[in-house]
């Protein structure tokens, strides 16, 4: 199982939507709750955010691979957790 990193910032409406999609996904697929999940607020942790290559939030990484960036979709969020859960 790989760690999921979500780059975001608090006032981002797309980030809020992505978190709502994540919550719905975890309700439908409770096994995904085992996936390690870290949120990195790029405004509060710029030194961490600067180490990653992305332009828009929310951005999801599985391990060190960028999987989804920008306006979230249910399919994109599901793909992130599917990839992280596999092994």
Q: Tens digit of pLDDT for each residue in 6-53?
A: 999 999 999 999 999 999 999 999 999 999 999 999 999 999 999 999
What residues does each domain of the chain span?
A: 4-85
Specify the pTM.
Answer: 0.94
In this structure, the strands spanning 59-62 and 37-41 are unpaired
pLDDT at residue 48 in the model: 95
The confidence band for 86, taking pLDDT boundaries of 50, 70 and 90, is confident
Q: What is the mean pLDDT of residues 64-82?
A: 97
H helices of 1-87, in order, are 13-28, 46-49, 74-85
**Domain 4-85, architecture per CATH:** 3-Layer(aba) Sandwich (3.40)
Q: Which two tokens stand for residue 66?
A: 């960028």
Asked if 59 and 69 touch (Cβ cutoff 8 Å), the reply is: yes
Count of other CB atoms within 10 angstroms of residue 9: 16
């Amino acid at each position: 199982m790989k760690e999921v990193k979500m780059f975001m910032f608090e006032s981002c409406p797309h980030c809020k939507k992505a978190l709502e999609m994540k919550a719905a996904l975890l309700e439908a697929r409770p096994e995904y709750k085992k996936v390690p999940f870290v949120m990195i607020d790029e405004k509060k942790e710029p030194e961490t955010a600067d180490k990653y290559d992305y332009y828009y939030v929310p951005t999801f990484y599985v391990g060190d691979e960028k999987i989804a960036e920008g306006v979230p979709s249910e399919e994109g969020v599901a793909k992130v957790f599917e990839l992280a859960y596999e092994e």
